[in-house]
């Protein structure tokens, strides 16, 4: 369009387009009536003129003024290449290229097309290629299929569980699904078909049909087993397979033959029908054949008695792994206590607290800052004078002495607290070390019992095979062996837990093993040492700290002092004592000394602090008395327990332990000779082993009581 010419003639682009449209497409010039019908009268150029571009330029365009001008005056007429249609989507121009596919699946043809477009087509900036139509539908269907297939499998499993009420039977029948999937995939590979949506739908249908074979077989096996308990599992499986062979084959044959026309189809829609039918037929064939062999075998394994896993090799493996996991180091108790004192972070915190209060002692004589004051101006006369003053406030001497006593009491309290932490930590280490010794003693008893049970387990097996005993005797002894080995495993786990706790206290990854066995030892104590116990000393230190704080609060009721020195100028005429006068300049200086006192007239708040400090003294004295009474009670209890444990240890050493060994030897001999039954033998052996376990328990309790006595009465 020549917009300048159009504007010059007073026309518009719509006028030009209307003339072109009337010439080529036609324009309604009027109407013709024929009876009751009405027809539009359309005029346009004839065909020869429409095909001639030059004549288009001579086309007259009517102006608003009524004049007419040729089209070539208002526009340039020429033939050029361009899009025949412009489409837009999401405010962007779009070029659509469509094609149909026969004999191939959409997925493979689009993947091939994507490869060629990537290699051969160079798109301008801002242009990109998208693939829609059936391929887009395929992508959406694939996403839906990824949800539908797992949902179908889950639904099948749930329905099986509702039918059989046992998890193992659901798994058995569910095994037909992977077996059928093998056949479906193999059939697609044989026919050279790719996986498609229709094939996925075929797998869903296949899974539902494939489990029918398993349901038929498992139901029949369970029925036969319930009706005849005397038959073995193998006989039940053979009879059920023979009875249900025809229904299984018919199920597969009917479904396969029903899908056969779809598998051989070549007409419209064959691309969808063939993969679906191929998957179903191939899957049913493989599922039927494999189910007849695999499912009975799995049923036989599931229905057999649980296989007994030998615990002794397992126990050895666990113990070896626990030994390799941490480097076990035999160590004596004294060395372990020394390591704890050296490495324990708890003691390091206490030592740092002592250093803090030691450094804080330097703040006892905390004298206030010195004040330096300068004064300039006409403070004496009209002359400009200057004054310099130095002032130093300070408390009474007793305040600084009391502050020093308070800080010393803080340090003594921190030292007493560190000693308590050390004593408690040593007590914990002794108890953990004793627990390891106790577990070692139990382990030896359990290992000795294991050897006894294992040897007689073989005897019980031989007697059962010869018919000299029943199944109850053999099963009970097997259970006794398993129970004893389970206790050994628990012993290993408990030992490892205590080793980890000691490693945590040491802040080290080493694994501690006691170098000494569990023994009974006791020493004499002086009960007067109870008054020197760290807890009692700690509360006494707190009592002294409260007394020092009270004295400091009282000392702060005393007046505070202020001393100063002034140097100033007094410019002007001044008269001496002899009545002579002299003019003093700025260089003439006059000095004076200041002495002041701060008296606490309003001392109600400070007196309240003194009263509160007195109350704190009473609280600390009460805590000291309570602690002394508690420690005394604990000492009396520990001494009573010592007498009780000494009596028990005498009984075990002189009577119970020797008798337990005799009981085991005699019971073993009589059982081998057939003089006693297994029940009698097990009762006697368990009684003897129980005595040995009780002896180990008593040893541990006795030594725990000795650790408590050592904690109460040892010297600091």
- The reported pLDDT for the residue numbered 307 is 39
Nearest to 488 by CA among 601, 344, 362, 319: 319
- Phi and psi torsions of 42, nearest 5°: -110, 135
Q: What is the pLDDT of residue 128?
A: 81
Residue 318 has pLDDT above 50, yes or no: no
Chain segment 493-516, per-residue pLDDT in tens: 888 888 888 888 777 767 777 777
Only one residue has tokens 């208002």, namely: 74
In whole angstroms, what is the distance from residue 393 CA to residue 378 CA?
28
Please name which of 326, 303, 298 lies closest in space to residue 499, comparing C-alpha atoms. Answer: 326
Mean pLDDT (the chain) is 79
Facing residues of 568 across strands? 387, 590
Which residues lie closer than 8 Å to 437 by C-beta, 6 or more apart? 514, 516, 517, 518, 700
- Does the pLDDT value for residue 615 go beyond 60? yes
Q: Are 436 and 513 in contact (CB under 8 A)?
A: yes
Per-residue pLDDT at 678: 72
Are the beta carbons of 218 and 164 closer than 8 angstroms? yes
CB atoms within 10 A of CB 365: 13
Tell me how far apart the alpha carbons of residues 73 and 67 are, in angstroms, rounded to a whole number: 13
Reported as a pLDDT band with limits 50, 70 and 90, residue 313 is: very low
Report DSSP state, residue 98: -
User: By the 8 A CB rule, do 291 and 179 touch?
Assistant: yes
Q: What are phi and psi of 87, to 5 degrees?
A: -110, 150
**pTM, full prediction:** 0.47
CATH of 136-303, one of 1.20.1640.10, 1.10.10.10, 3.40.50.300, 1.10.287.70: 1.20.1640.10
Q: CA neighbours within 13 Å on the CB side: how many for 167?
A: 0
Alpha-carbon span 557 to 107, nearest angstrom: 98
Q: Exposed (0-12), middle (13-18) or buried (19+): which is 115, by Cβ within 10 Å?
A: exposed
d(CA 344, CA 487): 33
CATH architecture of the domain with range 3-74: 2-Layer Sandwich (3.30)
Query: How far is the C-alpha of 236 from the C-alpha of 224, rounded, in Å?
Result: 6
Q: What is the DSSP letter of 522?
A: -
* Residue 547 pLDDT > 50: yes
Q: Torsion-angle region of residue 35: left (phi > 0), alpha (psi -120 to 50) or beta?
A: left
What is the separation, in whole angstroms, between the first and last Cα of the chain?
Answer: 113
The three-class DSSP label of residue 513 is strand
Q: What is the structure's pLDDT at 322?
A: 44
CATH 3.30.2090.10 placement within the chain: 3-74
Homologous superfamily of 316-343+395-558+600-626:
Outer membrane efflux proteins (OEP) (1.20.1600.10)
Task: Tell me the pLDDT band of 466, cut-offs 50, 70 and 90.
Answer: low
Among 222-231, 282-291, 451-460, whose mean pLDDT is lowest? 222-231
pLDDT tens across 70-99, in order? 888 888 888 777 766 777 777 778 888 877
CA distance 644 to 704: 13
CA dist 279 → 38, 183, 577 (Å): 64, 8, 137
230 confidence band (pLDDT: 50, 70, 90): low
pLDDT at position 315? 44
How do residues 131-142 score in pLDDT, each as one tens digit? 877 777 777 777
Task: Look at the chain and count its residues.
Answer: 716
Across 25-34, 236-245, 626-635, 653-662, least confident range = 236-245
- Cα–Cα distance for residue pair 498/492, rounded to 1 Å: 10
Contact yes or no for 535/629 (Cβ under 8 A): no
Longest dimension (CA), the chain: 157
Please tell me the distance from the alpha carbon of residue 569 to that of residue 81, in angstroms, as a whole number.
Answer: 109
Strands 68-70 and 60-62: antiparallel
Domain with CATH 1.20.1640.10 in the chain: 136-303
List every span in the chain annotated with CATH 1.20.1600.10.
316-343+395-558+600-626
Q: What pLDDT, on a 0 to 100 scale, did the predictor assign at position 304?
A: 62
């Amino acid at each position: 369009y020549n917009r300048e010419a159009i504007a010059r003639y007073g026309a518009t682009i719509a006028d030009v387009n209307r003339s072109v449209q009337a010439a080529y497409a036609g324009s309604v010039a009027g109407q013709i009536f024929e009876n009751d019908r009405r027809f539009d009268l359309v005029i346009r150029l004839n065909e020869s003129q429409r095909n001639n571009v030059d004549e288009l330029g001579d086309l007259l365009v009517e102006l608003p003024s009524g004049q007419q001008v040729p089209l070539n005056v208002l526009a340039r007429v020429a033939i050029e290449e361009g899009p025949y249609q412009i489409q837009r989507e999401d405010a962007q121009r779009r070029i659509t290229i469509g094609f149909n596919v026969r004999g191939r699946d959409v997925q493979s043809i689009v993947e091939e097309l994507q490869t060629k477009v990537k290699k051969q087509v160079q798109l301008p900036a801002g242009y990109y290629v998208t693939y829609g139509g059936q391929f887009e539908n395929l992508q959406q269907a694939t996403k839906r299929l990824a949800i539908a297939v797992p949902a179908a499998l889950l639904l099948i499993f749930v329905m099986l569980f509702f039918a059989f009420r046992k998890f193992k039977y659901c798994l058995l029948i569910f095994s037909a699904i992977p077996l059928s999937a093998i056949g479906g995939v193999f059939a697609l590979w044989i026919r050279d078909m790719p996986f498609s949506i229709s094939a996925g739908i075929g797998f869903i249908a296949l899974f539902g049909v494939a489990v029918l074979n398993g349901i038929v077989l498992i139901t029949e096996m369970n029925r036969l087993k319930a009706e005849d308990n005397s038959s073995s599992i193998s006989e039940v499986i053979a009879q059920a397979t023979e009875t249900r062979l025809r229904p299984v084959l018919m199920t597969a044959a009917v479904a396969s033959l029903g899908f056969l026309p779809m598998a051989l189809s070549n007409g419209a829609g064959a691309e969808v029908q063939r993969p679906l039918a191929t998957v179903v037929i191939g899957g049913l064939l493989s599922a039927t054949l494999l189910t007849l062999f695999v499912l009975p075998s799995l049923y036989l394994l599931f229905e057999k008695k649980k296989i007994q896993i030998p615990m002794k090799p397992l126990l050895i493996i666990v113990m070896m792994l626990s030994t390799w996991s941490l480097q076990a180091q035999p160590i004596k108790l004294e060395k372990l206590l020394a390591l704890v004192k050296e490495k324990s972070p708890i003691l390091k915190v206490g030592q740092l607290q002592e250093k803090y209060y030691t450094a804080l002692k330097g703040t006892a004589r905390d004298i206030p800052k010195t004040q330096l004051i300068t004064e300039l101006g006409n403070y004496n006369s009209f002359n400009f004078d200057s004054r310099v003053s130095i002032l130093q406030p300070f408390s009474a001497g007793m305040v600084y002495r009391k502050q020093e006593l308070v800080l010393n009491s803080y340090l003594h309290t921190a030292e007493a607290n560190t000693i308590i932490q050390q004593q408690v930590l040593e007590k914990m280490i002794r108890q953990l070390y004793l627990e390891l010794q106790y577990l070692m003693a139990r382990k030896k008893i359990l290992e000795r019992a294991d050897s006894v049970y294992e040897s007689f387990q073989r005897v019980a097996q031989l007697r059962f095979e010869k018919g000299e005993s029943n199944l109850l005797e053999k099963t009970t002894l097997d259970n006794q062996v398993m129970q004893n080995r389970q206790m050994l495993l628990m012993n290993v786990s408990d030992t490892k837990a205590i080793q980890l706790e000691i490693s945590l206290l040491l802040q080290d990854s080493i694994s501690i093993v006691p170098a000494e066995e569990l023994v009974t030892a006791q020493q004499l104590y002086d009960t007067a040492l109870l008054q020197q116990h760290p807890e009692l000393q700690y509360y006494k230190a707190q009592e002294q700290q409260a007394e020092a704080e009270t004295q400091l609060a009282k000392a702060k009721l005393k007046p505070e002092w202020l001393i100063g020195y002034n140097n100033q100028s007094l410019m002007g005429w001044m008269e001496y004592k002899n009545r002579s006068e002299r003019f003093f300049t700025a260089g003439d200086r006059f000095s004076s000394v200041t002495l002041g006192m701060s008296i606490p007239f309003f001392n109600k708040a400070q007196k309240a602090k003194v009263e509160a400090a007195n109350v704190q003294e009473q609280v600390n004295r009460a805590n000291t008395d309570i602690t002394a009474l508690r420690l005394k009670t604990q000492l009396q209890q520990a001494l009573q327990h010592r007498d009780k444990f000494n009596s028990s240890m005498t009984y075990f050493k002189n009577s119970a332990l020797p008798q337990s060994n005799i009981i085991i030897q005699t019971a073993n001999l009589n059982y081998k000779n057939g003089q006693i039954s297994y029940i009698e033998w097990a009762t006697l052996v368990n009684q003897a082993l129980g005595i040995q376990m009780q002896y180990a328990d008593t040893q541990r309790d006795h030594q725990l009581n000795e650790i408590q006595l050592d904690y109460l009465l040892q010297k600091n």
